[in-house]
């Protein structure tokens, strides 16, 4: 079935998640939908699969306009979506999951469904046990169950939203083989949503790139990863402008140091960061930058090697010791990790105090202190404003205001994500003040402009490896894009 | 122990447990749909009073049951409205209704205290009643007992064998996924909460019109909490919930007997024993001990035994469902 989306519009509050997006998928092909987190991919796919009703635009199926207002109706029209976190019933058995949502009268026809389930999964080489509970299955197997279920409902269009997140490498190979088979042999239209370049390059016959809710471009395969990077991140015009600061003593040193987690391994890296130095961590999201930041903050224990802070070996030390040593980490999840929803600004400032606090809180004093910080950091809010009531930019300002006065090492995840240009500039002015005081800064960003502009050195990550450490004044966006795409320098 | 004594105990356990079984079945289907009706103790009390009052005034037991059903359903409707439509905390609303129901029952029931009233007639079943032992235990009861046993089977069949039951389970486990598959989540939740509440109402009238005749202040106090505990004990599975209700009845009777034969032990020990036992069983079925026990079984049996013993509440219990 040929799918055409024309001028889809959807806003969430003031955020334009989809701003006139069009997309065409031919039957029997795999179309990639590429874009950074927050580019509007998932919203667009939720519109197509009936989870979200658009504020404008049309959906054409085989040239005929289709209207539906729920996922069930979308499935009736032949459109099924596999969600990043499979939308199934973990406490129920595989067979009951398969049966759920098909109308077959009053009684459950288990024997019939079991036969169909086994036949379909055999056709694709899946091994699904009908009697197993879904919560004992891996994410890969749950995807297989969803594929089989949607096919049995007669779906002609399958949407895969970031399907490779959380599955193992062999499962990924099986998944890709299945997707190819669905398109080539079964003639289905497959939409593959991802922010991973190499997967899109490997699998798709065409790619649509979204950026900030708009189509940044459409390319037919084959193409190069640089072209895709350029579309994802935009044309970059700026060059390196970071002013020279005399660097001090080494603050952070990593010696053959690696991190191991369930999803991603960070291969051993060696790195030395000096006081006042700014290092930008470039790469597609999930390539290992976040692991490096979290491990440097003392939140994850490295699997090997040692970490020195100003010459002191911090291996095995607690997060508290890292804080005492002058390390601070600003996570990207402002409300999830950075702030405490339900508490107001004054309460946050009291909590953030590192020095020995008296048993009773002098609230008049605390509100006064908070008021001063609020003024100093231009936060639009009062000491009694709950943090969830602040806008994204003001939450970021609050996080900066909560940092202790003197820091040795500041680790930032997407410090300006979601901020307007003015706020972003303001944030960087603050950070550069810190840098002049001798704080070393490591930050991640999806904005290559920002990385080039603000860093002294840039380290590029790809698939859990730190590829290169480049001098920011000696590189440009072409080279970064080339490296980010997974090519060795 | 003489066989006649045993028969007498089992027969009375069966009779006395029927309100508890009916209430626990009602609560089971509400909670399976994701709504905790915590008002059980107050609901049972108010419906027991209303059922008795209506039966007393009209002389008609059936009308009494209908009134009690309405009261139970109405209480549940308040919970459903507050939690499903207004997204209020189910526990808080349920708790307030518990207190309200009990106090209202005491206040409105004053004219009916210790009045002799109608009762559900004794209804032995011809022929079956004459089967030795079985007939004496099961078939010399009133209609409530028969109905409660049928109810257990119907609820089990509904939940596990029908399309509608699968939807009920899905709504309580992951409403987002149920919605994606075309289920009207909140409508189903309303339906099962109200039906569950109606059953709780019947349970109330079953006290005042059969098991504990008449009305007095605090007539059924505490039984609602026991029913709630039994639902958890039974792991939201109708057969195990029923087993829990009967086990509770047996333990209470045994307590009475043991107390007579070992007079040295304080009576409170026997009254508290069933609850302590329940906590122990709960710890066992929800903790790591079960997995260790299962590893002793041969692999082929592990799944069957595990399925029978493992307990987990509906994942979306007490969680409101909001569409995007």
- Counting Cβ atoms within 10 Å, is residue B117 exposed (0-12), middle (13-18) or buried (19+)? buried
Q: Has residue A323 got a pLDDT over 70?
A: yes
Averaged over A294-313, what is the pLDDT? 88
Q: Do the chains contact at A101 and B173, CB–CB below 8 Å?
A: no
Strand order of the sheet with strand A278-282? A327-330, A409-413, A440-444, A278-282, A457-462, A465-471
Q: Name the residue with tokens 């083989």.
A: A177
The most confident of the ranges A312-321, B153-162, B307-316 is: B153-162
Distance CA A223, CA A202 (A): 11
Torsional class of B269: left (φ above 0), alpha (ψ -120 to 50), beta (otherwise)? alpha
Q: Please provide residue A456's backbone torsions phi and psi, each rounded to the nearest 5 degrees.
A: -85, -45
- The pLDDT of residue B107 is 96
Pairwise CB contact (< 8 Å): B161 & A107: yes
Tell me which of A26-35, A419-428, B71-80 is least confident. A419-428
Of residues A20 and A249, more confidently modeled: A20
- Please report whether residue B70 resides in a domain: yes
Cβ separation A101–B169 shorter than 8 A? no
With CA atoms as reference, the chain A residue closest to B313 would be A91
Quick one: pLDDT at residue A411? 95
Averaged pLDDT score across all residues of chain A: 87
Burial of B296 (0-12, 13-18, 19+ CB in 10 A): exposed
Residue B21: give the domain boundaries: 3-220
d(CA A358, CA B153): 62
Name the residue in chain A with its Cα closest to that of B315.
A91
- Which residue of chain B comes nearest to A49, CA vs CA? B180
More confident residue, A336 or B42: B42
CB B172 within 8 A of CB B316: yes
Higher pLDDT, A43 or A485: A43
Q: Is the pLDDT of residue A489 over 50?
A: no
pLDDT-derived band at B118, boundaries 50, 70, 90: very high
Whether B162 sits inside 8 A of A108 (CB atoms) is yes
* Residue B293 included in any domain: no
Question: Minimal Cα–Cα distance from A11 to chain B, Å?
Answer: 12
Residue B257 touches chain A, beta carbons under 8 Å: no
Pick A100's closest partner by Cβ from B170, B303, B315: B170
Residue of A123 and A232 predicted with greater confidence: A123
Taking each helix axis from N to C end, the angle separating B40-58 and B90-108, rounded to the nearest 10 degrees, works out to 30
Question: How many CB atoms are located within 10 Å of the residue A339 CB?
Answer: 21
- Kindly state whether residue B214 falls inside one of the protein's structural domains: yes
Cβ-defined contact of A88 to B177 (cutoff 8 Å):
yes
For the segment B186-206, the average pLDDT, to the nearest whole number, is: 97
**B312 vs A contacts (CB less than 8 Å):** 91
Q: Do A3-233 and A250-484 fold alike per CATH?
A: yes
Whether residue B248 is contained in a domain is answered as no
User: A73: which strand partners?
Assistant: none
pLDDT at A263 (0 to 100): 65
Q: Is residue B266 part of a domain?
A: no
Distance between terminal CA atoms of chain A? 42
Longest dimension (CA), chain B: 65
Q: Do A105 and B163 touch (CB under 8 A)?
A: yes
| CA pair distance B84, B320, nearest whole angstrom | 6
pLDDT exceeding 70 applies to what percent of chain B? Answer: 98
Distance between A299 CA and the closest CA of chain B, angstroms: 29
Q: Do A189 and A27 touch, CB atoms closer than 8 A?
A: yes
Residue range B289-299: mean pLDDT, rounded: 77
Which residues is A330 bridged to in the sheet?
Answer: A412
Among B211-215, B232-236, B244-248, B281-285, name the one with the lowest average pLDDT: B281-285
Q: Where are the alpha helices (DSSP H) in A18-109?
A: 41-48, 71-76, 94-99
Q: From CA A158, how far away is CA A156, in angstroms rounded?
A: 7
**Contact residues on chain B for A106, CB-CB shorter than 8 A:** 162-164
Taking an 8 Å cut-off on Cβ atoms, the answer to whether B182 and A131 are in contact is no
Q: What is the pLDDT of residues A80-130, one digit of tens each?
A: 999 988 999 999 999 999 999 887 789 999 999 999 999 999 999 899 999
B166 touches chain A (CB under 8 A): yes
Q: What angle do CA B196, B199, B205 make, to 5 degrees?
A: 150
Is the pLDDT score of A440 beyond 80?
A: yes
Buried b / exposed e over A438-468, threshold 16 CB at 10 Å, is bbbbbbbbbbbbbbbbbbbbbbbbbbbbbbb
- The structural domains of chain A, with segments of one domain joined by +, span 3-233, 250-484
CB atoms within 10 A of CB B23: 36
CA dist., res. B280 & res. B273, Å (int): 11
- DSSP tag of A336: I
Tell if the pTM clears 0.90, that is, is over it: no
Contacts of B310 (CB under 8 A, 6+ apart): B235, B285, B290
What pLDDT digit, counting tens, does each position of A384-402 carry? 888 888 877 788 889 999 9
* Contact between chains at A92 and B167 (C-beta distance less than 8 A): no
Of residues A201 and B68, the one with the higher pLDDT is B68
Own/partner pairs for A370-375, CB < 8 Å, 24+ apart?
A370/A345, A370/A346, A373/A349, A373/A401, A374/A345, A374/A401
Quote the tokens at residue B34.
């994701």
Number of domains comprising chain B: 1
DSSP letter for A139, please.
H
- The answer to whether B178 faces chain A, any CB pair under 8 Å, is yes
Secondary-structure percent of chain A, ordered helix, strand, coil, rounded to 5: 35, 25, 40
CA distances from B253 to A332, B1, B269 (A): 61, 14, 13
Asked if the model's pLDDT at residue A241 lies above 60, the reply is no
C-alpha separations of B159 from A400, A412, B154 in Å: 53, 51, 9
Which tokens is B35 given? Answer: 């709504």
Residues in chain A closer than 8 A to B324 (CB atoms): 46, 51-52
Position A243 scores a pLDDT of 61
| Superfamily grouping for domain A3-233 | P-loop containing nucleotide triphosphate hydrolases (3.40.50.300)
What confidence score (pLDDT) does residue A239 get?
A: 46
Give the angle B313-B314-B318 at the CA atoms, nearest 5°. Answer: 100
Rounded to whole angstroms, the Cα distance separating B188 from B197 reads 14
Q: Which residues of B touch A150 (CB under 8 A)?
A: none
Q: How many CB atoms lie within 10 A of CB A400?
A: 21
Q: In what order do the strands lie in the sheet with A304-309?
A: A265-274, A250-260, A304-309, A312-313
Ranking A368-372, A377-381, B155-159 by mean pLDDT, the lowest is A377-381
Asked if A385 and A345 count as a contact pair (C-beta separation under 8 A), the reply is: yes
Indicate the CATH number for domain A250-484.
3.40.50.300
Question: Per the domain annotation, does B284 fall within a domain?
Answer: no
Contact flag A72-B164 (C-beta cutoff 8 Å): no
Domain assignment present for residue B211? The answer is yes
């Amino acid at each position: 079935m040929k799918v055409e989306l024309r001028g889809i519009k959807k806003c969430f509050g003031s955020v334009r998640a989809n701003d006139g997006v069009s997309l065409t998928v031919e039957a029997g092909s795999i179309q990639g939908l590429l874009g950074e987190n927050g580019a509007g991919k998932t919203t667009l796919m939720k519109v197509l699969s009936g989870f979200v009703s658009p504020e404008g635009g049309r959906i054409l199926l085989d040239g005929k306009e289709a209207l539906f207002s729920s996922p069930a109706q979308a499935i009736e029209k032949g459109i099924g979506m596999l969600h990043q976190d499979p939308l199934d019933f973990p406490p129920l058995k595989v067979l009951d999951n398969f049966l759920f949502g098909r109308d077959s009268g009053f009684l459950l026809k288990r024997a019939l469904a079991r036969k169909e389930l086994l036949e379909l999964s055999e056709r694709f080489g899946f091994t699904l046990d009908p009697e197993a509970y879904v919560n004992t299955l891996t994410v890969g197997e749950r995807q297989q169950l969803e594929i089989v279920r949607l096919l049995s409902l007669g779906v002609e269009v399958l949407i895969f939203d970031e399907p490779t997140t959380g599955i193992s490498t062999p499962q990924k190979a099986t998944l890709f083989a299945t997707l190819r088979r669905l398109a080539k042999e079964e003639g289905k239209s497959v939409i593959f949503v991802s922010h991973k370049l190499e997967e899109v390059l490997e699998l798709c016959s065409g790619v649509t790139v979204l950026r900030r809710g708009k189509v940044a471009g459409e390319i037919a395969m084959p193409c190069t990863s640089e072209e895709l990077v350029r579309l994802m991140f935009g044309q970059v015009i700026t060059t390196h402008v970071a002013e020279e600061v005399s660097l001090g003593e080494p603050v952070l040193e990593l010696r053959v140091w690696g991190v191991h987690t369930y999803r991603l391994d960070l291969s051993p890296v060696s790195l030395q960061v000096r006081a006042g130095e700014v290092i930008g961590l470039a790469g597609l999201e999930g390539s290992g930058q976040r692991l490096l930041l979290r491990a440097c903050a003392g939140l994850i224990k490295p699997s090997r090697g040692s970490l020195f802070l100003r010459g002191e070996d911090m291996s095995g030390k607690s997060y508290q010791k890292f804080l005492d040593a002058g390390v601070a980490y600003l996570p990207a999840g402002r409300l999830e990790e950075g702030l405490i929803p339900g508490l107001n600004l004054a309460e946050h400032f009291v909590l953030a105090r590192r020095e020995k606090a008296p048993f009773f809180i002098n609230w008049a004093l605390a509100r006064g202190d908070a008021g001063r910080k609020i003024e100093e950091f231009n936060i639009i809010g009062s000491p009694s404003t709950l943090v969830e009531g602040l806008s994204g930019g003001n939450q970021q300002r609050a996080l900066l205001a909560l940092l202790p006065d003197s820091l040795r090492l500041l680790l930032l995840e997407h410090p300006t994500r979601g901020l307007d240009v003015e706020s972003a500039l303001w944030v960087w002015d603050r950070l550069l003040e810190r840098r002049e005081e001798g704080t070393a800064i490591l930050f991640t960003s999806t904005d290559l402009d920002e990385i080039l502009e603000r860093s002294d050195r840039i380290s590029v990550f790809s698939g859990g490896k730190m590829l290169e450490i480049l001098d920011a004044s000696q590189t440009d966006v072409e080279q970064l894009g080339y490296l980010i795409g997974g090519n060795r320098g | 122990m003489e066989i006649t004594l045993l028969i007498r105990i089992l027969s009375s356990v069966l009779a006395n447990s029927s309100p508890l079984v009916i209430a626990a079945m009602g609560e089971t289907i509400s909670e399976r749909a994701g709504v905790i009706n915590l008002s059980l103790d107050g609901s049972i009390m108010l419906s027991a009073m209303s059922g008795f009052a209506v039966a007393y005034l009209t002389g008609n037991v059936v009308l009494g049951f209908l009134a009690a059903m309405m009261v139970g359903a109405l209480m549940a409707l308040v919970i459903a409205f507050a939690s499903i439509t207004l997204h209020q905390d189910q526990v808080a609303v349920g708790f307030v209704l518990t207190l309200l129901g009990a106090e209202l029952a005491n206040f409105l029931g004053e004219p009916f205290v210790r009045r002799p009233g109608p009762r559900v007639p004794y209804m032995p079943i011809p022929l079956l009643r004459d089967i030795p032992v079985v007939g004496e235990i099961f078939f010399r009861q009133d209609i409530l007992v028969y109905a409660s046993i049928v109810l257990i089977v119907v609820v089990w069949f509904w939940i596990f064998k029908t399309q509608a039951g699968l939807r009920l389970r899905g709504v309580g486990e992951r409403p987002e996924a149920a919605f994606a598959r075309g289920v009207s989540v909140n409508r189903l939740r309303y339906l099962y909460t109200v039906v569950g509440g109606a059953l709780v109402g019947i349970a109330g009238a079953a006290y005042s019109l059969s098991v504990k005749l008449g009305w007095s202040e605090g007539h059924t106090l505490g039984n609602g909490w026991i029913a709630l505990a039994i639902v958890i004990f039974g792991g939201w599975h109708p057969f195990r919930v029923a087993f829990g209700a009967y086990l509770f009845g047996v333990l209470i009777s045994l307590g009475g007997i043991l107390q007579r034969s070992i007079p040295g032990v304080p009576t409170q020990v026997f009254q508290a024993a069933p609850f302590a036992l329940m906590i122990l069983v709960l710890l066992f079925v929800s903790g790591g001990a079960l997995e260790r026990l299962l590893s002793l079984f041969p692999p082929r049996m592990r799944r069957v035994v595990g399925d029978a013993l493992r307990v987990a509440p509906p994942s979306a219990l007490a969680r409101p469902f909001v569409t995007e």
